[in-house]
């Protein structure tokens, strides 16, 4: 079975899926979806197709650790995912993941205007790596 990390956004959703041994990121991609219910259903299909047994959903927090409206929206999406997949998502602190993703893309010579295409998948990959390397 695999782990799937999700970087949830209003327009794009980054997805990263581990290898079967849950050691490395096996693949990463971006979903274009504006409707949260349709997104949850699409992710549920990907969960089944890729034999995922663990969901890690990025929880956006403010730099001081508090939660704002975006975190509430993410918690609502977590409930939709649980209903659609039968798996309770692990909420993962995603502070700075998008900033780090932009930095990685920039360091690899990607133009800023092209970041939008990949930044969510890279952010999901960073969350997946963090979860897989958590040490417990």
pLDDT of res. 115 = 47
Residues 6+ apart with CB under 8 A from 50: 2, 4, 17
Nearest-5° angle of CA 43, CA 45, CA 47? 70
**pTM exceeds 0.75:** yes
The 10s digit of each residue's pLDDT in 39-64 is: 999 999 999 999 999 999 999 877 78
Listed by start position, the domains of the chain span 2-132
Looking at domain 2-132, its CATH class is alpha beta
Walking along the chain (136 residues) 10 residues at a time, the average pLDDT comes out as 93 93 90 94 97 95 78 95 98 71 55 60 87 76
């Amino acid at each position: 079975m695999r782990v799937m990390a999700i970087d949830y956004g209003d327009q794009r959703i980054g997805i990263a899926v581990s290898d079967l041994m849950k050691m490395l990121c096996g693949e990463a991609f971006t979903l274009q979806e504006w409707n949260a219910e349709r997104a949850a259903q699409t992710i549920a299909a990907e969960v089944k197709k890729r034999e995922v047994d663990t969901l890690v959903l990025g929880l956006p927090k403010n730099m001081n650790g508090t939660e704002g409206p975006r975190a509430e929206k993410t918690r609502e999406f977590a409930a939709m995912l649980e209903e659609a997949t039968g798996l309770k998502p692990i909420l993962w602190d995603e502070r700075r993941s998008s900033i780090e993703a932009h930095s990685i893309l920039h360091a690899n010579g990607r133009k800023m205007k092209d970041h939008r295409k990949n930044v969510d998948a890279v952010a999901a990959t960073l969350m997946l790596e963090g979860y897989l390397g958590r040490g417990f």
